[in-house]
Amino acid sequence: MKQIPELSKINYDSNGLIPAIVQDAVSKEVLTLAYMNEESLRKTLETKETWFWSRSRQRLWHKGETSGHTQRVISITEDCDRDALLVRVVPSGPACHTGKYSCFTRPDSPVLSDRFAILNQLEQVIARRGTEKPKDSYTTYLFQEGVDKILKKVGEEAGEVIIAAKNRSPDELAWEISDLLYHLLVLLREQNLPLDRVLQELQQRHGGD
């Protein structure tokens, strides 16, 4: 675990609780908002899986204790006032009790206008497919087949890009590069490597140019 809050400095509310925002460490999408008390935070740190305090049931609960959809904790950081936590995780399944990838997922979510944001949107869609595993989904199929299949597709799509470029066909090239980018994002997800890490590498290489 990369970052650990100082337990003695956490500011719990009058009920001994602190809100915990759970975020997918790879896609950066917010998965859920839950609450922790001192005991659940300690158990989270000890087991490196999320534990929360259920306000309705008035007891500790281990995420995935019945569904098996546990969340491996990558880091926990507190905000500037130390009265809220950001818990970055790698989920093994849906975060929401409805079976959705995120408790905040809505079918009518607005489409971001920034064209570059489509890569982040696609990364989040791929992350949802990887956890929800809907039937008849090509992305689900790739994850089920495993890394060898994904690597094979990356290689095939790279070859298609080369052919399209040799053909001097802009439309064909745009189509094939789109396919390649999609399969590369699937590979990143399979490897638990966020797109941000690749963008940071590009920025480090070319930020001064």
116-203 CATH choice from 1.10.1370.40, 2.60.120.380, 1.10.287.1080, 1.10.1040.10: 1.10.287.1080
**Domain spans of the chain?**
7-91, 116-203
Of 33-37, 38-42, 105-109, 186-190, the one with minimum mean pLDDT is 105-109
pLDDT of 114: 46
**What is the fold of 7-91?**
Ubiquitin-like (UB roll) (3.10.20)
In the block, residue with structure tokens 């929401």: 96
Choose among 185, 27, 196, 195: nearest CA to 101.
Answer: 27
In the block, residue with structure tokens 């849906």: 94
Using alpha carbons, list the distances in angstroms from residue 164 to 42, 118, 178: 55, 23, 12
Higher pLDDT, 168 or 93: 168
Average pLDDT over residues 10-21: 96
Pairing of strands 59-62, 51-54: antiparallel
Find the DSSP H helices in the chain: 38-47, 117-132, 138-145, 147-166, 170-190, 195-206
Look at phi and psi of residue 16 and say left if phi exceeds 0, alpha if psi is from -120 to 50, else beta.
left
Can you tell me the distance from the alpha carbon of 160 to that of 167, in angstroms, rounded to the nearest whole number?
A: 10
Calculate the average pLDDT of the chain: 89
pLDDT of 115: 56
